[in-house]
Protein backbone atom coordinates (compact mmCIF):
# COMPACT_ATOMS: atom_id res chain seq x y z
CA UNK A 1 0.00 0.00 0.00
CA UNK A 2 1.41 3.38 -0.89
CA UNK A 3 0.51 6.54 0.91
CA UNK A 4 -0.23 10.03 -0.26
CA UNK A 5 -2.13 13.18 0.60
CA UNK A 6 0.26 13.69 3.47
CA UNK A 7 -0.78 17.28 3.90
CA UNK A 8 -4.40 16.34 4.56
CA UNK A 9 -3.58 14.26 7.59
CA UNK A 10 -0.38 13.86 9.48
CA UNK A 11 -1.65 10.63 11.07
CA UNK A 12 -0.16 8.28 8.51
CA UNK A 13 3.03 10.23 7.83
CA UNK A 14 3.74 10.62 11.57
CA UNK A 15 2.95 6.97 12.12
CA UNK A 16 5.23 5.81 9.30
CA UNK A 17 8.05 8.05 10.46
CA UNK A 18 7.80 6.64 13.98
CA UNK A 19 7.60 3.12 12.54
CA UNK A 20 10.83 3.55 10.54
CA UNK A 21 9.33 4.13 7.10
CA UNK A 22 7.06 1.14 6.77
CA UNK A 23 4.54 -0.71 8.87
CA UNK A 24 2.94 -4.12 8.99
CA UNK A 25 -0.80 -4.65 8.75
CA UNK A 26 -2.34 -7.76 10.33
CA UNK A 27 -3.40 -10.86 8.39
CA UNK A 28 -6.54 -12.89 7.82
CA UNK A 29 -9.20 -12.87 10.51
CA UNK A 30 -11.72 -15.50 9.48
CA UNK A 31 -9.34 -18.45 9.20
CA UNK A 32 -7.78 -17.57 12.55
CA UNK A 33 -11.18 -17.34 14.21
CA UNK A 34 -12.05 -20.76 12.82
CA UNK A 35 -8.75 -22.17 14.00
CA UNK A 36 -9.73 -21.02 17.50
CA UNK A 37 -13.05 -22.80 17.19
CA UNK A 38 -15.43 -20.15 15.90
CA UNK A 39 -18.24 -21.27 13.59
CA UNK A 40 -18.43 -18.83 10.67
CA UNK A 41 -21.05 -20.62 8.65
CA UNK A 42 -23.29 -17.57 8.37
CA UNK A 43 -23.90 -14.69 5.93
CA UNK A 44 -22.35 -12.42 8.57
CA UNK A 45 -19.19 -14.54 8.43
CA UNK A 46 -16.58 -13.21 10.89
CA UNK A 47 -18.94 -10.42 12.02
CA UNK A 48 -21.02 -13.16 13.63
CA UNK A 49 -18.27 -13.43 16.25
CA UNK A 50 -19.01 -9.89 17.41
CA UNK A 51 -22.18 -11.40 18.84
CA UNK A 52 -21.13 -14.95 19.69
CA UNK A 53 -17.45 -14.83 20.61
CA UNK A 54 -15.86 -11.39 20.96
CA UNK A 55 -13.15 -12.94 23.17
CA UNK A 56 -11.90 -14.92 20.16
CA UNK A 57 -11.63 -11.75 18.06
CA UNK A 58 -9.61 -10.10 20.82
CA UNK A 59 -7.35 -13.14 20.99
CA UNK A 60 -6.67 -13.09 17.24
CA UNK A 61 -5.92 -9.34 17.38
CA UNK A 62 -3.44 -10.03 20.20
CA UNK A 63 -1.85 -12.88 18.24
CA UNK A 64 -1.25 -10.47 15.36
CA UNK A 65 0.23 -7.77 17.61
CA UNK A 66 2.57 -10.36 19.13
CA UNK A 67 3.47 -11.46 15.60
CA UNK A 68 4.54 -7.87 14.90
CA UNK A 69 1.52 -6.21 13.28
CA UNK A 70 1.52 -2.42 13.63
CA UNK A 71 -2.02 -1.96 12.34
CA UNK A 72 -5.06 -3.95 13.46
CA UNK A 73 -8.04 -4.17 11.13
CA UNK A 74 -11.32 -4.57 13.01
CA UNK A 75 -13.81 -7.42 12.62
CA UNK A 76 -16.32 -5.16 10.89
CA UNK A 77 -15.66 -6.17 7.26
CA UNK A 78 -19.00 -8.03 7.07
CA UNK A 79 -20.65 -6.00 9.83
CA UNK A 80 -23.43 -3.87 8.40
CA UNK A 81 -26.47 -2.37 10.06
CA UNK A 82 -28.61 -3.90 7.29
CA UNK A 83 -27.05 -7.34 7.81
CA UNK A 84 -27.59 -7.28 11.56
CA UNK A 85 -31.16 -6.06 11.11
CA UNK A 86 -31.82 -8.99 8.81
CA UNK A 87 -30.81 -11.15 11.77
CA UNK A 88 -33.51 -9.49 13.87
CA UNK A 89 -31.36 -6.95 15.69
CA UNK A 90 -32.55 -3.38 16.21
CA UNK A 91 -30.76 -0.46 14.56
CA UNK A 92 -29.38 0.54 17.94
CA UNK A 93 -28.06 -2.95 18.66
CA UNK A 94 -26.50 -3.06 15.18
CA UNK A 95 -24.71 0.23 15.71
CA UNK A 96 -23.49 -0.99 19.12
CA UNK A 97 -21.95 -4.04 17.43
CA UNK A 98 -20.14 -1.84 14.91
CA UNK A 99 -18.65 0.17 17.76
CA UNK A 100 -17.84 -3.02 19.59
CA UNK A 101 -15.64 -4.20 16.72
CA UNK A 102 -13.43 -1.16 17.27
CA UNK A 103 -13.56 -1.43 21.07
CA UNK A 104 -12.33 -5.04 20.90
CA UNK A 105 -9.31 -4.00 18.81
CA UNK A 106 -8.56 -1.07 21.13
CA UNK A 107 -8.78 -3.41 24.15
CA UNK A 108 -6.38 -5.84 22.48
CA UNK A 109 -3.97 -2.93 21.91
CA UNK A 110 -4.24 -1.93 25.62
CA UNK A 111 -3.59 -5.49 26.77
CA UNK A 112 -0.64 -5.69 24.40
CA UNK A 113 0.89 -2.48 25.76
CA UNK A 114 0.48 -3.85 29.30
CA UNK A 115 2.31 -7.02 28.28
CA UNK A 116 5.10 -4.93 26.75
CA UNK A 117 5.51 -3.06 30.04
CA UNK A 118 5.64 -6.29 32.02
CA UNK A 119 8.17 -7.92 29.69
CA UNK A 120 11.83 -7.06 30.17
CA UNK A 121 13.09 -8.79 27.02
CA UNK A 122 14.36 -6.81 24.02
CA UNK A 123 11.15 -7.59 22.19
CA UNK A 124 12.66 -8.71 18.89
CA UNK A 125 13.67 -12.08 17.54
CA UNK A 126 11.54 -14.11 19.92
CA UNK A 127 8.43 -16.10 19.21
CA UNK A 128 6.38 -13.24 20.65
CA UNK A 129 7.23 -9.68 19.74
CA UNK A 130 6.61 -7.46 22.77
CA UNK A 131 7.79 -3.99 21.93
CA UNK A 132 6.25 -0.59 22.61
CA UNK A 133 5.50 0.97 19.24
CA UNK A 134 2.76 3.01 17.62
CA UNK A 135 -0.22 0.77 16.79
CA UNK A 136 -3.17 1.92 14.74
CA UNK A 137 -6.71 0.52 14.76
CA UNK A 138 -8.31 0.62 11.31
CA UNK A 139 -12.09 0.17 11.16
CA UNK A 140 -12.78 -2.23 8.31
CA UNK A 141 -15.55 -1.50 5.81
CA UNK A 142 -16.32 -4.24 3.29
CA UNK A 143 -18.08 -3.48 0.05
CA UNK A 144 -21.81 -3.65 -0.73
CA UNK A 145 -21.10 -7.01 -2.37
CA UNK A 146 -19.96 -8.40 0.98
CA UNK A 147 -23.40 -7.63 2.42
CA UNK A 148 -25.09 -9.21 -0.61
CA UNK A 149 -22.93 -12.31 0.04
CA UNK A 150 -23.42 -13.36 -3.59
CA UNK A 151 -19.81 -13.14 -4.73
CA UNK A 152 -20.20 -9.66 -6.22
CA UNK A 153 -17.38 -8.35 -4.01
CA UNK A 154 -15.14 -10.38 -6.31
CA UNK A 155 -16.87 -9.43 -9.57
CA UNK A 156 -17.70 -5.79 -8.81
CA UNK A 157 -20.87 -6.37 -10.80
CA UNK A 158 -23.82 -4.92 -8.89
CA UNK A 159 -26.14 -4.62 -11.90
CA UNK A 160 -27.64 -1.45 -13.36
CA UNK A 161 -30.15 -0.99 -10.54
CA UNK A 162 -27.39 -0.09 -8.09
CA UNK A 163 -26.44 3.57 -8.39
CA UNK A 164 -24.01 5.87 -6.64
CA UNK A 165 -26.86 6.90 -4.32
CA UNK A 166 -27.70 3.26 -3.50
CA UNK A 167 -24.13 2.74 -2.33
CA UNK A 168 -23.91 6.01 -0.42
CA UNK A 169 -27.20 5.28 1.35
CA UNK A 170 -26.04 1.79 2.16
CA UNK A 171 -22.69 2.82 3.69
CA UNK A 172 -23.51 6.23 5.15
CA UNK A 173 -24.57 5.43 8.71
CA UNK A 174 -22.06 2.61 9.09
CA UNK A 175 -19.15 4.84 8.11
CA UNK A 176 -20.43 7.57 10.43
CA UNK A 177 -20.72 5.17 13.40
CA UNK A 178 -17.28 3.64 12.79
CA UNK A 179 -15.71 7.07 12.45
CA UNK A 180 -16.95 7.98 15.94
CA UNK A 181 -15.98 4.70 17.58
CA UNK A 182 -12.40 5.48 18.60
CA UNK A 183 -10.73 3.98 15.50
CA UNK A 184 -7.68 5.79 14.11
CA UNK A 185 -8.78 5.42 10.51
CA UNK A 186 -11.26 3.67 8.23
CA UNK A 187 -10.06 0.87 5.96
CA UNK A 188 -12.26 0.49 2.87
CA UNK A 189 -11.22 -2.99 1.84
CA UNK A 190 -11.61 -5.05 -1.31
CA UNK A 191 -13.18 -2.13 -3.20
CA UNK A 192 -14.35 -3.88 -6.38
CA UNK A 193 -15.31 -1.02 -8.71
CA UNK A 194 -15.12 2.69 -9.47
CA UNK A 195 -18.69 3.40 -8.41
CA UNK A 196 -18.09 2.24 -4.86
CA UNK A 197 -14.80 4.15 -4.65
CA UNK A 198 -16.72 7.25 -5.71
CA UNK A 199 -19.42 6.59 -3.11
CA UNK A 200 -16.83 6.27 -0.33
CA UNK A 201 -14.98 9.41 -1.44
CA UNK A 202 -18.19 11.45 -1.50
CA UNK A 203 -19.31 10.10 1.88
CA UNK A 204 -15.98 11.00 3.46
CA UNK A 205 -16.27 14.57 2.23
CA UNK A 206 -20.01 15.18 2.64
CA UNK A 207 -20.49 13.51 6.01
CA UNK A 208 -17.53 15.42 7.44
CA UNK A 209 -15.86 12.23 8.66
CA UNK A 210 -13.26 13.18 11.24
CA UNK A 211 -10.74 10.39 10.77
CA UNK A 212 -8.70 9.55 7.66
CA UNK A 213 -9.25 6.52 5.48
CA UNK A 214 -7.43 4.18 3.14
CA UNK A 215 -8.81 2.54 0.04
CA UNK A 216 -7.73 -0.95 -0.88
CA UNK A 217 -8.77 -2.42 -4.23
CA UNK A 218 -8.72 -6.00 -5.46
CA UNK A 219 -7.67 -7.26 -8.85
CA UNK A 220 -7.96 -10.55 -10.72
CA UNK A 221 -5.81 -9.72 -13.76
CA UNK A 222 -3.05 -7.57 -12.27
CA UNK A 223 -4.15 -4.57 -14.36
CA UNK A 224 -7.69 -3.56 -13.50
CA UNK A 225 -9.86 -3.87 -10.40
CA UNK A 226 -12.12 -6.94 -10.39
CA UNK A 227 -15.04 -5.18 -12.16
CA UNK A 228 -12.75 -4.35 -15.09
CA UNK A 229 -12.65 -0.65 -14.14
CA UNK A 230 -9.21 0.88 -14.49
CA UNK A 231 -7.18 0.70 -11.29
CA UNK A 232 -5.62 4.01 -12.24
CA UNK A 233 -9.02 5.70 -12.38
CA UNK A 234 -10.06 4.09 -9.09
CA UNK A 235 -6.83 5.17 -7.43
CA UNK A 236 -7.20 8.71 -8.70
CA UNK A 237 -10.68 8.93 -7.14
CA UNK A 238 -9.12 7.88 -3.84
CA UNK A 239 -6.21 10.21 -4.36
CA UNK A 240 -8.37 13.25 -5.04
CA UNK A 241 -10.22 12.80 -1.74
CA UNK A 242 -8.45 14.79 0.96
CA UNK A 243 -9.39 12.29 3.66
CA UNK A 244 -7.57 9.41 1.97
CA UNK A 245 -4.10 8.78 3.40
CA UNK A 246 -3.23 5.54 1.60
CA UNK A 247 -4.24 3.59 -1.50
CA UNK A 248 -3.45 -0.07 -1.91
CA UNK A 249 -4.32 -3.58 -2.97
CA UNK A 250 -5.70 -6.52 -1.00
CA UNK A 251 -7.17 -9.93 -1.74
CA UNK A 252 -5.00 -10.17 -4.86
CA UNK A 253 -2.35 -12.72 -5.72
CA UNK A 254 1.07 -11.45 -4.53
CA UNK A 255 2.66 -11.84 -7.98
CA UNK A 256 0.42 -9.04 -9.30
CA UNK A 257 1.07 -6.60 -6.45
CA UNK A 258 4.30 -5.05 -7.74
CA UNK A 259 2.81 -4.12 -11.09
CA UNK A 260 -0.32 -2.79 -9.41
CA UNK A 261 1.66 -0.63 -6.99
CA UNK A 262 3.69 0.67 -9.91
CA UNK A 263 0.53 1.58 -11.77
CA UNK A 264 -0.89 3.37 -8.71
CA UNK A 265 2.41 5.20 -8.23
CA UNK A 266 2.17 6.53 -11.80
CA UNK A 267 -0.45 9.03 -11.11
CA UNK A 268 -4.83 -15.38 -2.19
CA UNK A 269 -4.10 -18.01 -3.83
CA UNK A 270 -2.47 -20.02 -1.08
CA UNK A 271 1.15 -18.95 -1.31
CA UNK A 272 3.53 -20.05 1.41
CA UNK A 273 4.81 -17.56 3.97
CA UNK A 274 8.29 -17.80 2.39
CA UNK A 275 6.88 -17.05 -1.05
CA UNK A 276 4.88 -14.14 0.34
CA UNK A 277 7.91 -12.66 2.06
CA UNK A 278 10.03 -13.00 -1.08
CA UNK A 279 7.84 -10.35 -2.69
CA UNK A 280 8.20 -7.79 0.08
CA UNK A 281 11.47 -6.16 -1.00
CA UNK A 282 10.06 -5.61 -4.47
CA UNK A 283 6.93 -3.98 -3.04
CA UNK A 284 9.00 -1.71 -0.82
CA UNK A 285 11.32 -0.82 -3.70
CA UNK A 286 8.22 0.06 -5.69
CA UNK A 287 7.14 2.52 -3.02
CA UNK A 288 4.82 0.56 -0.75
CA UNK A 289 4.93 1.48 2.92
CA UNK A 290 2.14 -0.59 4.47
CA UNK A 291 2.24 -4.36 4.08
CA UNK A 292 -0.01 -7.00 5.60
CA UNK A 293 -1.94 -10.15 4.86
CA UNK A 294 -5.40 -10.90 3.59
CA UNK A 295 -7.38 -14.13 3.26
CA UNK A 296 -5.66 -17.24 4.68
CA UNK A 297 -2.61 -15.41 5.99
CA UNK A 298 -1.83 -16.07 9.65
CA UNK A 299 0.23 -14.65 12.53
CA UNK A 300 3.13 -16.70 11.09
CA UNK A 301 2.89 -14.73 7.83
CA UNK A 302 2.89 -11.47 9.77
CA UNK A 303 5.83 -12.64 11.89
CA UNK A 304 7.76 -13.42 8.68
CA UNK A 305 6.92 -10.01 7.19
CA UNK A 306 8.01 -8.27 10.38
CA UNK A 307 11.32 -10.15 10.35
CA UNK A 308 11.93 -9.31 6.70
CA UNK A 309 11.29 -5.62 7.37
CA UNK A 310 13.51 -5.72 10.46
CA UNK A 311 16.39 -7.25 8.51
CA UNK A 312 15.92 -4.79 5.68
CA UNK A 313 16.01 -1.83 8.11
CA UNK A 314 19.10 -3.23 9.76
CA UNK A 315 20.79 -3.70 6.36
CA UNK A 316 19.87 -0.18 5.23
CA UNK A 317 21.25 1.40 8.40
CA UNK A 318 24.66 -0.24 8.00
CA UNK A 319 27.41 2.30 7.16
**Contact, 302 vs 277, CB < 8 A?**
no
The window from 69-77, 170-178, 181-189, 292-300 that contacts Zn ion (CB under 5 A) reads 292-300
DSSP 138: E
CB closer to Zn ion out of 45 and 112: 45
Phi-psi bin for 27: left (phi > 0), alpha (psi -120 to 50), beta?
beta
Beta carbon nearer to Zn ion, 190 or 224: 190
Contact between 178 and Zn ion per CB under 5 A: no
Taking residue 6's Cβ as centre, other Cβ atoms within 10 Å add up to 13
d(CA 51, CA 35): 18
Region near Zn ion per CB under 5 A, out of 93-101, 209-217, 245-253, 308-316 = 245-253
Q: Report the Cα–Cα distance between both ends of the chain, in Å, rounded.
A: 28
Does 223 bind Zn ion (CB under 5 A)? Our answer is no
Q: Which is nearer to Zn ion, 33 or 294 (CB)?
A: 294
- Can you state the angle between helices 164-179 and 194-206, rounded to 10 degrees? 50
Q: Which of 199, 251, 290, 309 touches Zn ion by CB under 5 A?
A: 251
The least distance separating Zn ion from the CB of residue 122, rounded to whole angstroms, comes to 33
CB of 293 to Zn ion, least distance (A): 8
CB of 218 to Zn ion, least distance (A): 7
The window from 3-11, 280-288, 291-299, 304-312 that contacts Zn ion (CB under 5 A) reads 291-299
Q: For residue 263, give the 3-state DSSP assignment.
A: helix
If DSSP codes are grouped into helix, strand and coil, which group holds residue 125?
Answer: coil
Binding-site residues for Zn(2+), in ranges, read: 251, 294-295
**251 vs 288, which CB is nearer to Zn ion?**
251
Q: Which helix (H) or strand (E) element contains residue 24? A: strand 23-24
Q: Which of 176, 204, 200, 175 is nearest to 190 (CA)?
A: 200
Min dist CB 17 to Zn ion, Å, is 29
- Residue with smaller CB distance to Zn ion, 57 or 177: 57
Residue 121's closest CA among 59, 72, 58, 66? 66
Q: Is 25 in the site for Zn ion (CB under 5 A)?
A: no
Q: Strand ranges (DSSP E) for 201-256?
A: 213-217, 244-249
H or E stretch including 72?
Answer: strand 71-73
**Residue 294 lies near Zn ion (rule: CB under 5 A):** yes
Q: Are 60 and 105 in contact (CB under 8 A)?
A: no
Minimum CB distance to Zn ion, residue 242 (Å): 28
CB of 295: closest distance to Zn ion in angstroms? 3
Stretch that binds Zn ion, among 59-67, 124-132, 208-216, 248-256 (CB under 5 A): 248-256
Taking each continuous run of H as one helix and of E as one strand, the counts in the chain are 14, 8
Q: How many CB atoms lie within 10 A of CB 89?
A: 16
Nearest distance in Å: CB 250, Zn ion: 6
Choose between 203 and 249: whose C-beta lies nearer to Zn ion: 249
Annotated binding site: 251, 294-295
Q: Of 60-68, 115-123, 124-132, 247-255, which segment contacts Zn ion by CB under 5 A?
A: 247-255
Count of residues that bind Zn ion according to CB under 5 A: 3
Q: Does 295 bind Zn ion (CB under 5 A)?
A: yes
Question: With respect to Zn ion, which residue has the nearer C-beta, 28 or 83?
Answer: 28
Q: What residues line the site for Zn ion (CB under 5 A)?
A: 251, 294-295
Amino acid sequence: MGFGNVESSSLMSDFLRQSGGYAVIDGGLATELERHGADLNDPLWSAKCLISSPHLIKRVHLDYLEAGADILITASYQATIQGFEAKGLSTEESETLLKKSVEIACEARDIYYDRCTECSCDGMGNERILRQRPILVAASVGSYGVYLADGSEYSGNYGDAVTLETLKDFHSRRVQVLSESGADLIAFETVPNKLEAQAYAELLEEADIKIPAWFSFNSKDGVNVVSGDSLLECASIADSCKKVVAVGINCTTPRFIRGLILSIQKQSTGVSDEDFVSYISKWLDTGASLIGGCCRTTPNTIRAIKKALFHRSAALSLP
